[in-house]
Structure 1
Amino acid sequence: MNENETYYQQVQLPSGVVHVYAGPTLFRDLDYKVFEMANNNLQIPNQVYMSYTPDVHVGIGTCIGTTAVWNTEDGYVSPSIVGSDIGCGMRVHMTNVHKDELKDVKLRRKLVRAIEKYLPVEDHARGHFSDIRLEHVVTKGLHGLPKKYIPDGYTPRKATSLTHVERSKFTLDENVLNRFPEKIWHRSHRQLGTLGNGNHFAEIQAIEIVDENREIAEAWGLFDGQVVVMIHTGSRAWGGSVSQYCSSDMAKVMRAEGLGTADPKLQFAPLAHPLAQNYVNLMYSALNYAVVNRHLIAYAIREAGKDIFGSKFEMTTLYDLMHNYAWEEQHEGQSYFVHRKGATRSLPANHPDNPEPYRQTGHPALIPGSMGTASYIMVGAPGGKANFHSICHGAGRIRSRSASKRLITLDEFSASMKVGTDEEIVVNQRSLESILDESPQAYKDVDQIIESVVGAGLARVVAKCKPLATVKGAK
């Protein structure tokens, strides 16, 4: 038996095959609804490939943890296999601070309060970036920001803001933006540089390097005990509006083309159709918004860090990537249109799509855990080619928000966060009860998720990130 078979299953469904990357326990515990959803997804014409990562769980129209692939020439695009939070993804910044400098729980609390000063977290929060033009953000991505928001722009040797990202700018037909009413522009502008709620966060973490990949970690600038900042958020109201405004377009195309499945919430259209192209262009504008949003949150946290640690505090970009999107990729000389919904692209060393700084090592793949548990920094392995270089995007929910509030006790959550001890993971919320549905007990075991990814030969662990303090948006 191939050693990877334990972590990989081909599941034959009436409409086709879904490839599942999950260890035995995770596979056994999968909800039958994920396969119902896969069967519907496989009915979209001309599909080349579909897979699930080990954190897969039921979503709207499509499961979170899905990779779905078409040939570009006769492909389809599905807003359902992108998700409503277009461009949602991860960003990690390295600091020059060691975890020992944050041993005092009072100092961690002080840091969290400083972050809240620069990063609004209250409901309907307004970001502090009114001098940024939204039309530049959605059309030019990071290149649309004023120079003052690119803090390393004047030091080319240290510059990482524009180079250490999966994509700094998505080009689009700007005419499609005319359909958005003024209120959407206004709301989206106000939300620049804000987290939102749900599972979005900014977290202060401490690094533990895995010995067998220490050379890669050090090449990236990581060291044991290093404090890093991990950010998880997306395109806020702008991405939600793209999904909302394109929904009627997709419905029109599906009626005209006689398309559909048993799930009325699963939307898709031929990629070549003009209304489908409108969606693709608007999706790219949301991807631009998302990467800028994470960048601005990091900018705000950098300002807070200077308040606490002084002017010598540094916060350089390790990497920024997405896990909700669709775009064109080249695989084995063939052009494919690849969707990832709750799935992370993880390229190995020497893959031509790596950004130049990571060409020789492969780029960092950023995998968050649940609150109170470790997160991971990984790197792609050659075996990932079998899954179009897709890996997990996090821990994956096992309970709905309502069920979590009903079944998980506050004491269980508090114990997970080590409340009342010197090791407490400080949270900005005044009461843990308000975020009970984000407790670790609501999610799968992230260590099992990572074990599955490594066991399947898709990626390797470079570093483990242990939480020190977490900032969540209010509901």
Structure 2
Amino acid sequence: MKSIQHGSNHHEVALSHGQLHVFANSQVFESFEAKVYEMANNNLRIPRNVYMSYTPDAHVGIGTCIGTTAVWNMKDGFVSPSIVGSDIGCGMRVHTTPLHKRDIQNKDVRRALIKAIEKYVPTNERTNTHYMDIDLMSVVQHGLKGLPESYVPDEQWITHVEESTFKFESSYLEQLPAKILKYAHGQLGTLGGGNHFIEIQYLEVEAAQKDIAAKWGLFDGQVVVMIHSGSRAWGAMLGQEFTKVFRSAMYNWGVENPDRNLIYAPIASEEGQTYLNLMYAALNFAVSNRHMIAYGVREAFREVFGSGLEMPVLYDLMHNYALKEFHRNQPMLVHRKGATRALPPGHFLNTPAYKETGHPALIPGSMGTSSYIMVGREEGIKNFYSICHGAGRARSRKATKELVTVDQFEQSLKVGTDDEILVNHRSLQTILDECPQAYKDVDQIIDSVVGASLADVVAVCKPMAVIKGV
């Protein structure tokens, strides 16, 4: 396998079916297993690919590696649900507070916050939303603009997001399986399980980025809340449904791929158009879901610190989707599966609030390690402005449970010390598969991104309390 070095941390790997760009430092690059290249080669069999890359957190997924950016021209390209991911619209959201780390250093205060958050945000899969008064179809069709005004604290909750409304042709909703509506109805504003979380953190602002941090309202020691969730059953069941639809179409067209989990269709085909339109509906659900989770977190903080406390939105953005974007003076469909968009200052796709500075790119670590708030650089154009979406798994859930002990997990959470990272589970055994040892070294991942000149760190987020779903 040959590779060409394009400057620091940028490798171009020649595979039999095309070129793969990998953004990783030498330590991370050498750690990639053969399977990730095999999957990339299968992905590159899809005709007319314009570009494909891995961010440093790339790891094996279903059909396509998490950490993939793949691009096709809109006029003659392809769309792949496998390169969108099963949790359509999964993404990150951060809210700031006026609080300082010292205000929640006391463990009893943090325990009170955890208890209050669990009261307002359902974390159990069997518990329905607290917001049954919200018209689900209004949200699906209009995103945040479909929410009742009573659930929108101020305009910033609409404007400080990657997209508040994903527009699509609503007639495609007629093709939506009824079971999706049934399961999604009770899930708006619920956390979900797996790697989803609500994390209370404090900031350490990078000295070199204090000007941008100040413009964003960030300061050293500030308490922030990071939220990671997606479209819940809506996106997952849509993915399941279209796996069957696309497989059938590919069979009828005589299209084969060594990996039967890799599915795709021409953008212009009936299958492609149906999927894209219903995917945008799922994105509307996802951004609204994180909004309502955040609304519940705000109510919880107010219960503990008083009704006057405000929690402005820093930003909300996704890392599982396919979006029409303009690159090289033409419209392209950019797939990001476990990849985060990081637009630089002045880029026309930035929301107005962040036109001058570039928007915050939100990168979670793993439970017990730092997370990061970054900003894109102009050089990021070489990777279609994609950076990592997190640390990336280093081992499977099963392998983690076999190799990591609860004692090791406790040590990573500093259990028993004043700096203990509190969690909402009595037994760490129940969430052992999400321990820091299950993930790559997030500092190496960030070093890879910064070294490749894709983005810079604005602030480091240190965890103080974590709420996980079950």
Q: When the two structures are superposed, what TM-score results if normalisation uses the length of structure 1?
A: 0.97
Measure, in 2, the Cα distance between the counterparts of 1:353 and 1:183. Answer: 35
CA drift of 1:181 comes to: 4.1
CA drift of 1:106 comes to: 1.3
CA drift of 1:282 comes to: 0.6
In the alignment, does 2:188 pair up with 1:192? yes
CA drift of 1:468 comes to: 0.7
The one-letter code matched in structure 1 to 2:149 is K
Aligned to 2:168: 172
2:180–2:238 Cα contact (<8 Å) kept:
no
1:124 partner SS? coil
Match of 1:433 among 429, 433, 438: 429
Structure 1 range deviating more: 369-378 or 168-177: 168-177
2:202 partner SS? strand
Match of 1:108 among 107, 110, 123: 110
Percent identical among aligned pairs is 58
Match of 2:337 among 324, 338, 341: 341
1:70 partner SS? strand
The one-letter code matched in structure 2 to 1:413 is F
Pick closer, same or farther for the CA change 1:252–1:455 going to 2, 3 Å: same
Match of 2:411 among 391, 394, 415: 415
Measure, in 2, the Cα distance between the counterparts of 1:440 and 1:248. Answer: 35
1:158-207, Cα deviation, whole Å (9 max, x unpaired): x3111100000011121222233444212201011111110000000001
Measure, in 2, the Cα distance between the counterparts of 1:186 and 1:427. Answer: 31
Structure 1 range deviating more: 75-84 or 165-174: 165-174
Unaligned runs of 5+ in 2: none
Aligned to 1:311: 307
Aligned to 1:120: 122
Aligned to 2:93: 91
In the alignment, does 2:203 pair up with 1:201? no
2:6–2:12 Cα contact (<8 Å) kept:
no
Aligned length, in residue pairs: 467
Where in structure 2 are the equivalents of 1:11-160 lying within 5 Å? 11-152=13-154, 159-160=155-156
Measure, in 2, the Cα distance between the counterparts of 1:123 and 1:270. Answer: 36
Unaligned runs of 5+ in 1: 153-158
Measure, in 2, the Cα distance between the counterparts of 1:328 and 1:77. Answer: 11
Match of 2:211 among 196, 211, 215: 215
The one-letter code matched in structure 2 to 1:174 is S
Measure, in 1, the Cα distance between the counterparts of 2:125 and 2:165. Answer: 29
CA drift of 1:120 comes to: 1.1
In the alignment, does 2:360 pair up with 1:367? no
Aligned to 2:253: 257
Aligned to 1:155: none
CA drift of 1:258 comes to: 2.2
In the alignment, does 2:351 pair up with 1:355? yes
Match of 1:448 among 416, 426, 444: 444
1:352-374, Cα deviation, whole Å (9 max, x unpaired): 00000100000000000000000
Measure, in 1, the Cα distance between the counterparts of 2:32 and 2:192. Answer: 29
Measure, in 2, the Cα distance between the counterparts of 1:465 and 1:395. Answer: 14
Measure, in 1, the Cα distance between the counterparts of 2:247 and 2:180. Answer: 22
1:250-290, Cα deviation, whole Å (9 max, x unpaired): 12321232222110110000000011100000100000000
RMSD between aligned alpha carbons? 1.2
CA drift of 1:412 comes to: 0.6
Structure 1 range deviating more: 255-264 or 128-137: 255-264
1:266 partner SS? coil
Match of 2:387 among 380, 391, 395: 391
Measure, in 2, the Cα distance between the counterparts of 1:123 and 1:317. Answer: 26
Measure, in 1, the Cα distance between the counterparts of 2:56 and 2:242. Answer: 30
1:92–1:231 Cα contact (<8 Å) kept:
yes
Where in structure 2 are the equivalents of 1:220-235 lying within 5 Å? 220-235=216-231
1:6-26, Cα deviation, whole Å (9 max, x unpaired): 411111011011000001011
1:25 partner SS? helix
CA drift of 1:3 comes to: 10
Measure, in 2, the Cα distance between the counterparts of 1:174 and 1:255. Answer: 28
Aligned to 1:290: 286
The one-letter code matched in structure 2 to 1:208 is E
1:6–1:24 Cα contact (<8 Å) kept:
no
1:94–1:316 Cα contact (<8 Å) kept:
yes
Structure 1 range deviating more: 319-328 or 249-258: 249-258
In the alignment, does 2:273 pair up with 1:277? yes
Measure, in 2, the Cα distance between the counterparts of 1:71 and 1:178. Answer: 28
CA drift of 1:4 comes to: 6.7
1:23–1:452 Cα contact (<8 Å) kept:
yes
Measure, in 1, the Cα distance between the counterparts of 2:187 and 2:384. Answer: 33
Structure 1 range deviating more: 329-338 or 161-170: 329-338
2:172 partner SS? helix
The one-letter code matched in structure 1 to 2:130 is H
The one-letter code matched in structure 2 to 1:310 is G
The one-letter code matched in structure 2 to 1:287 is L
Structure 1 range deviating more: 327-336 or 394-403: 327-336
Pick closer, same or farther for the CA change 1:169–1:421 going to 2, 3 Å: same
Measure, in 2, the Cα distance between the counterparts of 1:270 and 1:331. Answer: 19
1:232-258, Cα deviation, whole Å (9 max, x unpaired): 010000101211222222123212322
Measure, in 2, the Cα distance between the counterparts of 1:4 and 1:370. Answer: 30
Measure, in 1, the Cα distance between the counterparts of 2:468 and 2:416. Answer: 19
Pick closer, same or farther for the CA change 1:182–1:269 going to 2, 3 Å: closer
The one-letter code matched in structure 1 to 2:191 is L
Pick closer, same or farther for the CA change 1:402–1:222 going to 2, 3 Å: same
